[in-house]
């Protein structure tokens, strides 16, 4: 009898605490999405019944008419922001209140987690100043020949398949192999041919980091929504064997280059410069006038020299995340783009006509690839439909009073921005599910009617403001190069005809956006 009464009292107390924690937003004057008992608004995320994009898209449309609305990741309050003006304020105008992502790792316990994206406050700022010179247009020109070699290996691989009567390729895996090959060369200085050798360690450990094992799914959920628990339970950002492999390989590369005074035009050279002298000198050539990072580099070179040198662990963390970003997000973006071109043969032909014209008088160089404006529009449109990360995050770093209201976002509050839902909103983009590269011919946002709204953000596949993706330019150049090289030799069509009239479905277990299966395309050699 006593046990029953205690159980009843405990249940009542638990219920009351649940109602208290899940009324945080109401108690602070905000509207909120209706939470579920114990789970808040995380039920579908935990059951993986829908992709992360679909879950947040449902939240987006439930909150239509609201600029922001409260929600809960289990018991953790988050604010869903859907208003383009407020998104601009968070990313740019009021950046000083939102300068961190909602994550911070214990880098002493987990050195490879000390990459730029995860750092906060002054640590982030110092490392950002150090790393900015490594991604300028001048440095990309410097690395372009190494990148080009990987694209040529990819073309040769497909040509062999066509010659051997095997013209159908799963491009999800193939682009992962291509990017593992490219980044192991550009970032680590290792030529290991992951394209022809899928048993290569770089490719194998890249797969291990992103497979849908139970441990990885839990790790990904905690990283995205409850990162502080990772520190409490000493959960590392990467599986232990992946962590061990990359720490070992970076040690070997750095030791060899320093002992033998060996250099190569690659990302690792730049990181070693940061380790040994604390800065990378600005490029000698005149920077591109629209190259904001390069102009910032020149202005801040003196400031860079005052900073501490990069530690070995910091160097390893940047090389590691550079590999992972290319392996997963860039591979998925390239797959989506090439699939859309295969779905739209007239658009594919228009891209090829542009390439034929440009490459008729020029070799494939950094400059000539950047002249492919229609291909650029295709990539921008693909990034609109399929941004690499469908939900962007920030953390409120000091109490913030929302303009024109009496509401205050408290320090430590997690901010979620469903950017993919904005990209696919019919009130922002006409026929948002159609692939229309012409949207971007004369408009940086894909909608010329919105271009004069400088204080609002509608299109943001790489984030915006000071914390935009530092590797954005590198990702775009490598993707343009690979697709341009492929389309100069081949025409692609869908192996599964259903994709002509069905939307691509997304992996329900992956936070970075990727298809739920390996999309297969058929390659046909172009006639001269």
Q: For residue 246, give every residue at least 6 positions away whose Cβ sits within 8 Å of its Cβ, in sequence order, or none.
A: 112, 205, 238, 316, 319, 320, 323
* pLDDT value for 392: 97
The residue that leads in pLDDT, 406 or 211, is 406
pLDDT bucket at 225, cuts 50 / 70 / 90: confident
Residue 294, pLDDT > 50, answer no
Residue 415 has pLDDT above 70, yes or no: yes
pTM for the whole thing? 0.93
Confidence check: pLDDT of 341 > 50: yes
The answer to whether domain 2-525 has CATH 3.20.20.80 is no
Give the mean model confidence (pLDDT) for residues 186-206: 91
Domain chopping of the chain, boundaries: 2-525
Q: What is the 3-state secondary structure (H, E, C) of 408-448?
A: EECCCCEEEECHHHHHCCCCCCCCCCCCCHHHHCCCCCCCH
pLDDT at residue 171 is higher than 80: yes
Which residues does the annotation place in the binding site for heme? Answer: 469
281 confidence band (pLDDT: 50, 70, 90): low
For the segment 344-397, what is each residue's pLDDT rounded down to a tens digit?
999 999 999 999 999 999 999 999 999 999 999 999 999 999 999 999 999 999
Average pLDDT, the chain: 91
Task: Please report the pLDDT score of residue 449 as a whole number.
Answer: 83
Q: What is the predicted pLDDT for the residue at 295?
A: 43
Q: Taking 60 as the threshold, does the pLDDT of residue 297 lie above it?
A: no
Binding residues, by number, are: 469
Given this model, what pLDDT does residue 247 score?
A: 96
The predicted structure's pLDDT at residue 220: 83
| Three-state secondary structure string covering 14-39 | HHHHHHHHCCHHHHCCCCECCCECCC
- Is-contact 423 56, C-beta < 8 A? no
Q: What is the pLDDT of residue 283?
A: 57
pLDDT in the model for residue 300: 54
pLDDT of amino acid 307: 63
């Amino acid at each position: 009898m006593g046990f029953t009464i205690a159980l009843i009292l405990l249940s009542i107390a638990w219920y009351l605490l649940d109602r208290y924690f899940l009324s945080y937003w109401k108690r602070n004057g905000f509207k909120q999405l209706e939470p579920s008992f114990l789970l808040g608004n995380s039920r579908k995320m935990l059951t993986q019944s829908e992709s992360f994009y679909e879950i947040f898209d449902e939240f987006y449309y439930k909150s239509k008419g609201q600029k922001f609305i409260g929600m809960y990741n289990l018991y953790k309050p988050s604010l869903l922001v859907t208003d383009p003006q407020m998104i601009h304020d968070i990313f740019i105008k009021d950046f000083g209140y939102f300068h961190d992502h909602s994550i911070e790792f214990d880098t002493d316990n987990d050195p490879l987690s000390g990459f730029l994206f995860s750092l906060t406050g002054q640590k982030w700022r110092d490392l950002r100043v150090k790393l900015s010179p490594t991604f300028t247009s001048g440095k990309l020109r410097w690395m372009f020949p190494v990148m080009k070699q990987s694209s040529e290996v990819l073309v040769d691989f497909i040509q062999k398949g066509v010659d051997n009567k095997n013209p159908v390729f799963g491009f999800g895996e193939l682009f992962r192999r291509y990017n593992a090959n490219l980044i192991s060369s550009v970032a680590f200085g290792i030529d290991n041919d992951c394209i022809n050798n899928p048993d290569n360690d770089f490719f194998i450990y890249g797969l291990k980091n992103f497979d849908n094992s139970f441990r990885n799914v839990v790790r990904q959920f905690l990283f995205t929504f409850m990162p502080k628990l990772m520190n409490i339970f000493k959960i590392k950002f990467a599986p232990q064997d992946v962590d061990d492999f990359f720490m070992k390989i970076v040690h070997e590369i750095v030791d060899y280059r320093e002992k033998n005074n060996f250099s190569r035009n690659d990302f690792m050279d730049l990181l070693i410069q940061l380790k040994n002298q604390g800065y990378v000198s600005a490029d000698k050539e005149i920077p591109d006038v629209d190259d904001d990072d390069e102009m910032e580099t020149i202005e801040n070179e003196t400031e860079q020299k005052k900073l501490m040198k990069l530690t070995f662990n910091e160097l390893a963390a940047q090389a590691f995340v550079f590999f992972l970003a290319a392996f997963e997000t860039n591979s998925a973006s390239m797959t989506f783009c090439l699939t859309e071109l295969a779905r739209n043969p007239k658009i594919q032909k228009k891209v090829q006509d542009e390439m034929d014209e440009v490459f008729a008088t020029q070799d494939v160089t950094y400059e000539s690839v950047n002249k492919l404006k229609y291909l650029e529009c295709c990539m921008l449109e693909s990034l609109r439909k399929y941004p690499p990360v469908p939900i962007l995050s920030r953390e409120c770093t000091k109490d913030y009073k929302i303009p024109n209201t009496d509401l205050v976002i408290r320090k430590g509050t997690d901010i979620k921005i469903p950017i993919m839902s904005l990209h696919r909103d019919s009130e922002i983009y006409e026929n948002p599910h159609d692939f229309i590269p012409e949207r971007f011919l004369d408009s940086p946002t894909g909608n010329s009617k919105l271009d004069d709204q400088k204080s609002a953000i509608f299109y943001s596949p790489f984030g915006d403001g000071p914390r935009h993706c530092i590797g954005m330019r590198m990702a775009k150049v490598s993707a343009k190069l690979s697709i341009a090289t492929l389309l100069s030799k081949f025409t692609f069509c869908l192996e599964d005809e259903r994709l002509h009239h069905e939307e691509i479905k997304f992996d329900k277990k992956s936070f970075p956006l990727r298809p739920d299966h390996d999309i297969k395309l058929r390659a046909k050699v172009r006639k001269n």
